[in-house]
Every structure is written in C-alpha cells, then in structure tokens.
Amino acid sequence: MKNKSKHLGLVTKKFNEFFLVDLKNNENFGNNERFLCKVRKAINFKDQFIYVGDEVVIDNIDLESKRAVIKSLIPRQNLLTRPSVANISNIYIVFSVAEPELNLSQVNRFLISAESIGVEVSLVLTKCDLISDQKRTLLLDKFAKWGYQAITLNLQKSDYFKNFLAELKQKQCSILMGPSGVGKTTLLNMIIPSLHNITAPVSRKIKRGKNTTRNVELFSISNQSYIVDTPGFNMQPLEVDPSLLPNLYSEIYKQVIDAGIRCKFRNCLHLNDEGCNLNKSFERYSFYKEMMESFKSHYYQNQED
C-alpha cells in the first residue's frame, strides 16, 4: 500500500546514503512510525547534507516495507559540526570525575566549543561514587566559578538522576557529549530503560574509554523531547575568530556586560593589550590565554594563505 501524501519527519539516524526518519505528530499513522529513507534523486540539495536532528518532508510512504523518500529539508535552527547534528536545544557536556580522570583543560575546551553554538550549555559529572562528598563539593564550587551549576550523578544514588531526567523532559532536543568512557551511553540507558545500548568498561591499561559508541543517534524521551548520544572523543583547540572568544567565558562577559568594565580598545583581546582593564584573577584565565594564542596563530595563518 502506497500513501501519496507528504509528511514531516525527524532524522534519527544516518548510515551511508540511508536515513531513519520518524514521522512527526501524525494523526494518520500514530506515533513511533519509523521509515527507512533515501534522498530523492531528482532534487538538488546544493551540497546541503542531511544530518541527524534535521526535519525533513517525506514522500512516497510505503507502510508495508516501511520505506519512504526524503523530498525536502526544513531550514535548520543550528548545526553542530563535531559530531554533525542539527537543531539541538541543549548541550550536556559529560565528564567523569574519575576513570577516566577529570581533565580540566578538556572540560574547558568542550564547554567553550559548545558555547560557540549559542544554545544552553550544562555540565554533567558522572561516577561521583568514586570520590568523597568533600571532593564533590570542591568540584561543584570550582565549576560554579566557571559559571556552571554542575549536575553530579552516580549509578548508586538516584535522587540527582530523577531531577536530571525531569529537566531533560522539559527540553526539546538535548545532546550528550564528552570523552570516551565517561558514561554517556550508561546515562542514556537509564534515561530510556527499554534501551540496552552497548557500554564498556574503561581500559585498565590505558585508563581511557574504548570508543564503544560509533554512531550519532537520536532517541525519543517523551512526546516532544529527544536526546542524542554521541561517540566520545577528545577536543582539540578550536579555530574560531578570536574576537568572539571573550563572549564565551562567563568570567569575562560578566565583567564586561554586568559590571561594565571598559578596556582602552573596543576589540581588546584581554591578553597583554595596552589599557586592558579586565580582572584576570580567575581560574580559567590561563585556559583563555592558551586558547586565544592558539586561535590567533591559526586564524591569522589561515588568513594569509
């Protein structure tokens, strides 16, 4: 049986030239209708690729074989580039407090890279059963100074997890990002108990995750709420316009916007600039400086090419 009408769908998974597409709020088909789709050959997307999280119009729906064709792409709100995911509303940066050990410079790189997307960014600390309560409090204080109210979780205690789950259900489309082995998929399996995605212990020898998750995939939490699991990776220093960087650090933009400090030059990079009035006595300043210098060398080098 073929159905000729057009319908709105959400891309939940992508492999080679195939896409899994869930029909969105469709009365005729009910929920949970999932179709294997290819992009219609005749259309020209002008090098526009389709990613997980994209909304698409599907056509030529075949209810028996569960196949359909992607006819067009709905303009997207935003696009994360690593990994490629569209239309994210909330980024959850996930790090374990131990096994693998917490690397503050990596935490910072993930946070700053996430902030550059312009959506709400949160920090989740997993495996808190492996540290003392005192150490946990110290970490909470540290990240509060960075501008984040960290969510601390562990597999044994469910109180914080319940709050976290309630929060996720309020968000449209959240993504879990962080290094390998920190427990992203473990968390996802707790969020959606019917799911049994593969997780793996951290390697004893190299004390790192084993890159267990290989695909970006989007899952439905509740009616209008989705979550994306991603493969773990380590973040390199970024290549973005250095002039944007001060806006991504709360310790800096709070001084500029809330406290109204003014440096001599409007485009002050807050390094050794003449007439800089930024109070640099905050913990992340060394990370800021390091990032700014590496951005500057990349950016100006590429401009000369």
Ligand X SMILES: Nc1nc2c(ncn2[C@@H]2O[C@H](COP(=O)(O)OP(=O)(O)OP(=O)(O)O)[C@@H](O)[C@H]2O)c(=O)[nH]1
What is the Cα–Cα distance from 13 to 98, expressed in whole angstroms? Answer: 31
Q: Figure out which of the listed residues 23, 227, 278, 292 binds Zn ion, where binding follows CB under 5 A.
A: 278
Tell me the per-residue interface mask from 156 to 185 with ligand X, x by CB under 6 A, - otherwise: ------------------------xxxxxx
Q: Which is nearer to Mg ion, 122 or 126 (CB)?
A: 126
What is the Cα–Cα distance from 203 to 68, expressed in whole angstroms? Answer: 42
**Which is nearest to 90 in space by CA: 49, 124, 120, 59?**
120
261 binds Zn ion (CB under 5 A): no
Q: At what angle do helices 104-115 and 285-304 cross, to 10 degrees?
A: 60
113 binds ligand X (CB under 6 A): no
Give me the phi and psi of 55, to 5 degrees please. -95, 135
Q: Figure out which of the listed residues 12, 87, 113, 185 binds Mg ion, where binding follows CB under 5 A.
A: 185
CB contact at 8 A, 183 and 96: yes
Tell me the per-residue interface mask from 207 to 226 with Mg ion, x by CB under 5 A, - otherwise: -----xx-------------
263 binds Zn ion (CB under 5 A): yes
**Which is nearest to 14 in space by CA: 73, 94, 59?**
73
Per CB under 6 A, the segment of 8-16, 141-149, 209-217, 255-263 that binds ligand X is 209-217
Q: Figure out which of the listed residues 79, 117, 140, 200 binds ligand X, where binding follows CB under 6 A.
A: 200
- Which pairs from 235-240 meet CB under 8 Å and 24+ separation? 235/106, 235/109, 235/110, 235/113, 236/109, 237/109, 237/290, 237/291, 237/294, 237/295, 237/298, 238/109, 238/112, 238/113, 238/116, 238/291, 238/295, 239/295, 239/298, 239/299, 239/302, 240/116, 240/295, 240/299
Q: How far is the CB of 254 from Mg ion (least distance, A)?
A: 34
230 binds Mg ion (CB under 5 A): no
Q: Decide which of Mg ion, Zn ion, ligand X, none touches 228; Cβ closer than 5 to 8 Å per partner kind.
A: none
Q: Decide which of Mg ion, Zn ion, ligand X, none touches 180; Cβ closer than 5 to 8 Å per partner kind.
A: ligand X
Q: Which is nearer to ligand X, 90 or 180 (CB)?
A: 180
Residue 43: count other Cβ atoms within 10 Å of its Cβ. Answer: 12
Q: How far is the CB of 267 from Zn ion (least distance, A)?
A: 9
Which residue number has the CB closest to ligand X? 232
Would you call 177 exposed, middle or buried from its count of C-beta atoms within 10 A (0-12, 13-18, 19+)? buried
Q: How far is the CB of 261 from Zn ion (least distance, A)?
A: 8
Q: Figure out which of the listed residues 268, 287, 291, 292 binds Zn ion, where binding follows CB under 5 A.
A: 268
Chain residues that interact with ligand X, rule: CB under 6 A:
126-127, 129-130, 154-155, 180-186, 199-202, 209-213, 231-232
Chain residues that interact with Mg ion, rule: CB under 5 A:
184-185, 212-213
